Structure 1
Amino acid sequence: MPADGVFPGGARTYRMPVPRLTLTAGVGHGPLDGAWWPRCDLLELELPALVGSLDPDLGTVTRVTVDTVAWPDVPRTVSTPGRPIEVALSDVDTEAHAIALEYGTVGHRNLLVIPPGQSLAAATWLLTRAADPGNTLSATHMLALAEAGFA
């Protein structure tokens, strides 16, 4: 959808729709604080909408860490309204299929990243289960269950 208009030379800007996101209410007891279901695998398009939808009372997201397998060609910095966000890559298995949002010295949130092509039924289950404060499953385990049809 067109955003604020046309720039010199005919270039246009676009805004991604509201992100598909669930967050744990209060403090969770598991490895995840919710889930995010991006519409595509281009972090530079998806991240500004994700960050813009988060509660500003939590602070400012200053850095994200993403899985190198899920985001192989991600830029090291993504521009969001008002500030750039540093992007770190991780190949640690426990961080596969997740995004860590760091709020400077305030803290962080770990979200399951649901693959963009996931079925609606599986994504709905993953969004709900990842935001459950009692969830103890890792992102990798949850995706494996969804893929096996246990969702």
Structure 2
Amino acid sequence: MPLPRLSLTPDGSHGPLDGAWWPRCHALELELPALVGSLDPGYGTVTRVTVDPAAWPDAPHTVTAPDHVIEVAQADADTATHVITLDCGTAGRWELLVVPPDEPDAAAARLLATAADPWNPLTAAQLLARAETDLAGESVWESEGGPTSS
């Protein structure tokens, strides 16, 4: 698989998300090793991920990554949808928006950029809902005073 399409907040997050990941397909066992392999080693080793059961209904219980196995857990029903949580042992955890694989390129680029903005106050569900209402082709963030499309 090619390198993952990933955008992380620089120097930590102040909002509900730490960035976004745009997988190419719905096969977690294919996508996850590339995702964790692309993270800076300073983030620690990803030992467990928690996924949205609606987005990953057939997720395996474990995924083999280079040099280790990652436990895969299904999130509780009351947790955020379209989010993957990466647990990195003592280094902390990352909450990433999962951009749907079939999202159009322009919308995905805006979602990746906005989710990685350390001052983004929007949750994954809010970001995706605003992307869906972006019918006119202009950025959905302009009316909120947030990042704009270029």
Q: Is TM > 0.5 for Structure 1 vs Structure 2? A: yes
* TM-aligned CA deviation for residue 33 of structure 1: 0.4
Secondary structure of 1:73's partner? coil
* TM-aligned CA deviation for residue 77 of structure 1: 0.2
Select the structure of larger CA radius of gyration. Answer: 1
Aligned length: 136
Q: Which amino acid aligns with 2:99?
A: I
Q: Which amino acid aligns with 1:128?
A: A
Instruction: For 1:120-131, list aligned pairs within 5 A.
Output: 120-131=105-116
Q: Which runs of 5+ in 1 are unaligned?
A: 1-15
User: What is the match of residue 87 of structure 1?
Assistant: 72
When normalised by structure 2's length, the TM-score is 0.88
Q: Which amino acid aligns with 1:49?
A: A
Q: What is the alpha-carbon distance in structure 2 between the residues aligned to residue 84 and residue 143 of structure 1?
A: 30
**Alpha carbons 2:15, 2:120 under 8 Å: kept:** yes
1:140 paired residue among 121, 125, 145: 125
- Write the deviation string for residues 106-143 of structure 1: whole angstroms up to 9, x where unpaired: 21010000000001111010000000010010001000
**Alpha carbons 2:44, 2:90 under 8 Å: kept:** no
**Alpha carbons 1:67, 1:97 under 8 Å: kept:** yes
**Alpha carbons 1:43, 1:71 under 8 Å: kept:** yes
**Alpha carbons 2:63, 2:70 under 8 Å: kept:** yes
User: What is the match of residue 97 of structure 1?
Assistant: 82
User: What is the match of residue 114 of structure 1?
Assistant: 99
Q: Which runs of 5+ in 2 are unaligned?
A: 135-139, 142-150
Instruction: For 1:1-150, list aligned pairs within 5 A.
Output: 16-149=1-134, 150=140
Q: What is the alpha-carbon distance in structure 1 between the residues aligned to residue 110 and residue 77 of structure 2?
A: 25
Q: What is the alpha-carbon distance in structure 2 between the residues aligned to residue 92 and residue 110 of structure 1?
A: 16
- Write the deviation string for residues 17-39 of structure 1: whole angstroms up to 9, x where unpaired: 00000000012110100000000
* TM-aligned CA deviation for residue 93 of structure 1: 4.2
Q: What is the alpha-carbon distance in structure 1 between the residues aligned to residue 106 and residue 78 of structure 2?
A: 25
- Write the deviation string for residues 75-118 of structure 1: whole angstroms up to 9, x where unpaired: 00001111110001014344210100001122101000000000
**Alpha carbons 1:62, 1:103 under 8 Å: kept:** yes
When normalised by structure 1's length, the TM-score is 0.87
Q: What is the alpha-carbon distance in structure 2 between the residues aligned to residue 66 and residue 137 of structure 1?
A: 19
**Alpha carbons 1:29, 1:134 under 8 Å: kept:** yes
